[in-house]
Amino acid sequence: MSFRFITKSIHAYLIDYPVAIALIAAPFVLRLGESGPVAMWLSVVVGVAALLLAALTDHPTGLVRIIPYWLHLWVDRVVGVVFVIAPFVFKFAGLDAWYYWVLAAAVLLTTSVLNAPEEPVATPSGLGRRTAA
């Protein structure tokens, strides 16, 4: 069994919306912001953007489905990198810094290491080719 088990459907149903909501709520529950307001609001802003991204992605729970799934994954990876560097750039300390580093590890593991490759769509041989009459 492959350790790359996070399929497009698992990502859509079990990750996108719950994580977006957690990104919005967690800073208030954990009382982030001791290092400055950016420590709290970065997560909230990314959570709102994640809701929008999930709603616009071409996957089973997408509402408008205009963003390809591969692009969604790359946006997630960029967010993971932002979460790695944010504590350094904004001088987060303590729980504020650890919050973003743990999120970064989770995002990057989920979208890069554990992400199952999409199955290529098989096309019948000869489809799309012209034949001499």
- Residue 22 inside a domain? The answer is yes
pLDDT of residue 9: 87
- Residue 119 inside a domain? The answer is no
| Average pLDDT of the chain to the nearest whole number | 90
- Residue 128 inside a domain? The answer is no
- Residue 16 inside a domain? The answer is yes
- Residue 123 inside a domain? The answer is no
- Residue 126 inside a domain? The answer is no
What DSSP assignment string belongs to the chain? --S--B-HHHIIIIIIHHHHHHHHHHHHHTT--TT-HHHHHHHHHHHHHHHHHHHHBSSTT-SS--B-HHHHHHHHHHHHHHHHHHHHHTT--HHHHHHHHHHHHHHHIIIIISBPPPPPPP--TTTT-----
For the cut 60, the answer to whether the pLDDT of residue 111 exceeds it is yes
- Domain residues for the domain of 100 are 8-113
Q: Give pTM, 2 decimals.
A: 0.84
Confidence of residue 26 (pLDDT cuts 50, 70, 90): very high
